[in-house]
Structure 1
Amino acid sequence: MRVSRIMANLRVADVDAAKDFYADYLGLSTEEFNLGWVARYTSPDTGAVVQLLTRDATAAADATVSVHTPDVEGAYAEARQRGYEIVHPLTTESWGVHRFLVRAPDGTVVNVVQHAD
């Protein structure tokens, strides 16, 4: 699989309540999006990025990291071929991403995602 970006998904109780710390204090002041249950913040100076997540709105599990790829269908096929546990099937979500969640052999849940063009 070709990876174009990896970002941490940090579990928080309330995205808006956590915003002050991550956006203001840590300087991740650019809010790329905020769906209420997940929001992404980046630094305009360094490119540092983090996603804050209360609970995944459509998947039964929450991912620890999000891995962006230009070929999510190929990544999905490879994960299945390797016998990895798919915890959320390949889906086009209402917010415009094509993704699936896969469990790494160590138990970590990974969100593999491709943004719609």
Structure 2
Amino acid sequence: MKVLRIVPNFQTDNLEAAKCFYQQILGLDILMDHGWIVTYGSLEPMQVQVSFAANGGSGTAVPDLSIEVDKLDVAYEKMREAGFEIEYGPVNEPWGVRRFYVRDPFNKLINILAHLEKMPGES
């Protein structure tokens, strides 16, 4: 057996609220819309991961969802411009990521992150 896909499902009575956060700011596409469920994602290949954590690192809460982006500062500015409150960061973490925490329209704690580039000579 092989896992083909992992999809988190968040309950809401306001499906439209996801559009600004997940489509307009983060750039995800609508992959499915049946009226009662809307699935955002990308047709580009991505890694599937599930994490279990005792804490969020650096004294933070465990986020509900982590989203890796290629341009963290752009995501940060778009979130601020759209009025989403940043709860943590942005900060460079000792394990090699730059990240910030923000609450989505459904009160889920989202960890937006980008891996830091390795400096020349680092392994």
TM over 0.5: yes
Deviations 1:9-66 (A, max 9, x none): xxxxxxxxxxxxxxxxxxxxxxxxxxxxxxxxxxxxxx53211111112253321111
1:73 alignment counterpart: 73
Count residues in correspondence: 74
2:99 alignment counterpart: 99
Could you tell me which runs of 5 or more consecutive residues in structure 2 were left unpaired when the two chains were aligned: 1-25, 29-46, 118-123
Report if aligned partners of 1:2, 1:71 keep a CA contact under 8 Å in 2: no
* Structure with greater proportional strand content: 1
TM-score, normalised to structure 1's length? 0.57
Q: 1:97 and 1:52 mapped to 2: Cα distance?
A: 18
Q: Which has the larger radius of gyration?
A: 2
TM-score, normalised to structure 2's length? 0.55
Identity %: 27
Which of 1 and 2 has higher RCO (CA within 8 Å, sep 6+)?
1
Structure 1 residues 31-42: aligned runs within 5 Å: none
Pairwise CA RMSD: 1.6
Report if aligned partners of 1:64, 1:109 keep a CA contact under 8 Å in 2: yes
